[in-house]
């Protein structure tokens, strides 16, 4: 598969600097100045006809009486990266959390609709959420390692599953390799995870999620707290991981969506405005709202 990093005429450093400028404009409340109307990326293309991993249909979501998602229907394709983009507060994270029932932890919330995961409805009251969250792992915005050793962080879920000894050691190594962290930590597995850099901590959290062998990885702005180099490593990792996992990533960074994803959903005010192959979203959006957003005319 294409690495997704090849951007003719735009080095990684330039890309990151441009992203950083966009972000600064965002933070200062200035209108977004689009770096390029259409990101000059070689977005990795969808790999042939891939199956559906999760089929979300007509999802509504409520925080108390406040509705946050309206009739959202979105296919999540197997072994592809689906990016969710849209302005702050449009419901991206809420939607992501419906997929592994993390919203259940927020009192007084309600979901309607259907999200078929291998034919079973994720929202069904009978769904075993512990098992669901093993199969659909999650990585959060800020790295959140446990105050334990590097080894223990990755082994945690395996111990919960009752695994022991050599098997755990092997799976920890495999997960750390999978998260592109092994070489950096193999000589200090017993050291505290809190001594790692932010980027290493985030890759450790990815290793922790991988250890229990999920099928799907949900990533909620996984690089937003990281510096440009650490961000690049996460993006590289995503393009590697998608060979084995189905990935859904929330990002406020459109360039990042264009670099790493094959499919993109654009959300606005709790509604899915447009969903398509990433290249089509950025080069040939069908809806005016999508075009306005990706060209920086609002948001």
Ligand X SMILES: Nc1ncnc2c1ncn2[C@@H]1O[C@H](COP(=O)(O)OP(=O)(O)OP(=O)(O)O)[C@@H](O)[C@H]1O
| Segment lying near ligand X (by CB under 6 A), choices 19-27, 49-57, 60-68, 117-125 | 60-68
By CB under 6 A, residue 89 contacts ligand X? yes
47 vs 109, beta carbon nearer ligand X: 109
Residue closer to ligand X by CB (options 86, 145) is 86
CA distance 272 to 265: 7
Asked if 68 is part of the footprint of ligand X (rule: CB under 6 A), the reply reads yes
CA distance 190 to 175: 16
Q: Which of 63, 146, 156, 182 binds ligand X (CB under 6 A)?
A: 63
| 93 lies in the binding site for ligand X (CB under 6 A) | yes
Residue 179 interacting with ligand X (CB under 6 A): no
User: Shortest distance, CB of residue 106 to ligand X, whole angstroms?
Assistant: 5
Residue in 127, 77, 119 with CA at minimum distance from that of residue 98 = 127
Helix (H, G, I), strand (E, B) or coil at 18: helix
Taking the complex as a whole, the smallest distance from the CB of residue 295 to ligand X amounts, in Å, to 19
**Whole-angstrom Cα distance, residue 32 to residue 21?**
9
- Under the binding rule (CB under 6 A), the answer on residue 269 touching ligand X is no
Is 92 among the residues that bind ligand X (CB under 6 A)?
Answer: yes
Q: Which of 14, 17, 23, 10 is nearest to 254 (CA)?
A: 23
Residue 88 contacts ligand X per CB under 6 A: yes
CA separation for the pair 299, 291 (Å, rounded)? 12
Distances (CA, A) of 96 to 12, 138, 212, 296: 28, 9, 20, 24
Sheet containing strand 271-277, edge to edge, reads 136-139, 216-220, 246-250, 81-85, 263-268, 271-277
Residue 252 touches ligand X, criterion: CB under 6 A: yes
Q: Toward ligand X, which CB reaches closer, 84 or 172?
A: 84
Query: Which lies closer to ligand X via its Cβ, residue 80 or residue 94?
Result: 94
* Binding of residue 31 to ligand X (CB under 6 A): no
CA 173-176-177 angle, 5° bins = 85
Query: How near is the Cβ of 293 to ligand X at its closest, in Å?
Result: 12
Q: Tell me: does residue 53 bind ligand X (CB under 6 A).
A: no
**What is d(CA 104, CA 68) in angstroms, rounded to the nearest whole number?**
15
- Interface residue list for ligand X (CB under 6 A): 63, 66, 68, 86, 88-94, 106, 252
């Amino acid at each position: 598969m294409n690495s997704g990093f090849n951007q003719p005429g735009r080095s990684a450093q330039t890309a990151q600097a441009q992203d950083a400028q966009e972000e600064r404009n965002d933070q200062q409340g200035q209108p977004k100045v689009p770096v390029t109307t259409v990101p000059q990326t070689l977005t990795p293309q969808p790999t042939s006809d891939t199956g559906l991993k999760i089929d979300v249909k007509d999802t509504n979501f409520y925080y108390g009486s406040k509705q946050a998602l309206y009739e959202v229907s979105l296919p999540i394709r197997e072994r592809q990266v689906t990016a969710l983009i849209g302005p702050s507060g449009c419901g991206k994270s809420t939607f992501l959390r419906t997929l592994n029932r993390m919203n259940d932890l927020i009192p007084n919330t309600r979901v309607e609709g259907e999200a078929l995961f291998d034919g079973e409805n994720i929202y069904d009251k009978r769904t075993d959420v512990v098992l669901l969250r093993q199969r659909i792992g999650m990585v959060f915005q800020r790295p959140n390692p446990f105050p334990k050793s590097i080894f223990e962080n990755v082994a945690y879920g395996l111990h919960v599953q009752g695994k022991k000894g050599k098997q755990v050691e092997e799976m920890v190594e495999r997960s750390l390799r999978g998260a592109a962290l092994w070489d950096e930590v193999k000589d200090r597995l017993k050291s505290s995870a809190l001594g790692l850099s932010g980027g290493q901590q985030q890759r450790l959290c990815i290793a922790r999620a991988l250890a229990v062998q999920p099928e799907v990885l949900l990533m909620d702005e996984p690089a937003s707290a990281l510096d440009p180099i650490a961000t690049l490593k996460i993006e590289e990792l995503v393009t590697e991981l998608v060979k084995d996992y189905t990935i859904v990533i929330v990002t406020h960074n459109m360039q990042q969506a264009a670099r790493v994803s094959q499919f993109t959903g654009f959300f606005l005010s709790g509604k899915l405005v447009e969903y398509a192959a990433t290249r089509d979203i950025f080069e040939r959006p069908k809806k005016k709202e999508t075009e306005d957003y990706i060209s920086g005319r609002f948001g």
